[in-house]
Every structure is written in C-alpha cells, then in structure tokens.
C-alpha cells in the first residue's frame, strides 16, 4: 500500500488510433450489462496489464455510429510499456498493436487498433483536439440501397432535394450557440465553431454530408443532419436551420438522423509543442460568442 512518501511509478502516455463498426455496440461509453466500444477495449487492456486502464476518448459516439479515425489516450507505467517487447526485436508500439489485436480477436474485426505510440505527457485525446470531422451517407432511392453498405448508409424512403440540403448546411457555418441542436448537459456549453458543413449528391447518387467543428455537443451532428433532411424532404421551409438557431433551446421539433449513416472520420491535433496550450484553451468553458 502506497503512503504519501512512496514515489509514484513513472508513467508514459500512449495514444491509440482505432476504428470500429458501431452497429456491433451500444455506443462508445462503457455501460453495465451492455457491449460498448470503451468497455470492450478496457477489458482487452485489463487482460494485458492485469489492471483497469482508464481511457480518454476524442469524441464519444452514439449507439450505431461508426469511427474510422477515433483517438484515445491512456497512461501506462514505464515498466508496463517497456515490458511489452519481452526481448523481441520489435518496438513497444508494434507489440501493443499486435497484443490488442489478439485480445480483440473475438470481436471479429468490429474494433481495430491500427496504431499506438508514446506521446507527450500533456497530450489529451479530448481537450488537445483542434477539430473532429464526421461523414454521413444517405441513400434515398431503392436503386441506391446497397445491402453490403447498409451499416454505414442511412436509407431514406423518399427522394431528397440535395441542393436545398447543401444550402441549409452552408448557412450555419461559424461560431454559434447550437443549443437548439444539442441535448443539454449540466455544466456544458453549447457554443461551438462549425468550420465546415456540406451536403451534396455524388456521381453514384448517394448524398454525402461532411461536417467539421472544433467540438460537438451531445447529438449535435445527427440533429443538424436531421434538420437538413427535413428541408430536403419538404417538411420544413428553406432557412429552417437559421430559424432554429435564433432560439437555442432543445425541443420536440428536433429530429435526429438515423445513426447508421454516421462515421467519425478523423480528429485533428496541433503540433506537439501546442498540445498543452490547446488543452487548457479547450478546458476553459466558453460562455459567450
């Protein structure tokens, strides 16, 4: 048992880059009795290190939402980190990726950790991030509904006006209070900088949305896309998103887009020497525009 005089073991901070099929899980966050991405990854790490290893994630995803470029960080003791090599001619980074692949094998590829590396102690997967980018796919005609892509594409029963949706998306870029598109949480701000929001129909006929912000609050991405779909379907008049933003309050008019079409594509970070500064800036609660 450690006392106040006992030295704490030296630790190293590790960044993991991973992808997952969200249809196999009840979201990112660990929940008792449910299969989640965080819970599964923590179980795997506990198997490797014989202890609970806390994780900090760049962005929590809802049930059914996927990730191609998720980032987490964790802290290991220096002995745990160096011990991964076990005398083999590989790096600790390679060893951790291989061993995680082994303990996650039961998931049949639903979670893949494709990179691990030691990072600066002030790196924070959540607070050091500059932005997150999501992609959303919509198939709005029977001929576009590919069964092999049903887990990452939302199927919509009627034809949508992609041009109108694109104009709606572009109209709400910038630093705004997105309280009308965020489920409220105590001690959390709804002010965000929406850096890019586009929607267009590609050559194959699929409507693809791309959305980047410094951060997203709870349900913000699906609420914004759902509002654009309301306009594209003709349920709402053009200009609906700006009208909603004028009164930043969550209510029954919000319609969430289905989770299946949503993928966290990437998380962007500053240069290493700016990680700590960025984390402190993000932790400061933004309360005004």
For 53, how many CA atoms within 13 A lie in the half-sphere containing its CB?
Answer: 26
d(C-alpha 132, C-alpha 60), whole Å: 11
The helix (H) or strand (E) run that includes residue 19 is strand 11-20
CB contact burial 16-40 (16+ within 10 A = b; e otherwise): bbbbbbbebbbbbbbeeeeebbbbb
* Relative orientation angle of helices 162-170 and 220-233, to the nearest 10 degrees: 140
**What positions carry a catalytic annotation?**
62
Cβ atoms 15, 116 nearer than 8 A: yes
């Amino acid at each position: 048992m450690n006392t106040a005089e006992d030295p704490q073991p030296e630790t190293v901070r590790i960044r993991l880059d991973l992808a997952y099929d969200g249809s196999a899980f009840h979201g990112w966050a660990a929940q008792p009795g449910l299969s989640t991405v965080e819970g599964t990854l923590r179980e795997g790490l506990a198997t490797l290190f014989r202890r609970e290893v806390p994780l900090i994630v760049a962005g929590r995803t809802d049930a059914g939402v996927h990730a191609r470029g998720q980032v987490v960080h964790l802290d290991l003791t220096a002995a745990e980190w160096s011990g991964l090599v076990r005398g083999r001619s590989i790096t600790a980074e390679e060893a951790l990726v291989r061993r995680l692949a082994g303990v996650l094998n039961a998931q049949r590829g639903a979670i893949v950790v494709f990179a691990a590396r030691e990072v600066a102690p002030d790196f924070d997967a959540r607070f050091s991030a500059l932005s997150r980018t999501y992609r959303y796919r919509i198939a709005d005609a029977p001929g576009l509904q590919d069964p092999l892509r049903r887990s990452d594409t939302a199927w919509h029963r009627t034809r949508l006006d992609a041009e109108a949706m694109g104009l709606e998306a572009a109209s709400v870029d910038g630093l705004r209070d997105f309280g009308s598109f965020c489920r409220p949480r105590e001690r959390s701000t709804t002010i965000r900088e929406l850096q890019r929001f586009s929607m267009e129909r590609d050559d194959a006929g699929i409507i693809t949305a791309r959305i980047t912000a410094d951060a997203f609050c709870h349900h913000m991405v699906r609420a914004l896309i759902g509002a654009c779909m309301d306009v594209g379907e003709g349920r709402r008049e053009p200009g609906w998103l700006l009208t909603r933003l004028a009164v930043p309050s969550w209510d029954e008019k919000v319609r969430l887009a289905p989770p299946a079409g949503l993928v966290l594509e990437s998380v962007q970070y500053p240069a290493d020497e700016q990680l700590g500064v960025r984390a402190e800036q993000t932790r400061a609660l933004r309360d005004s525009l």
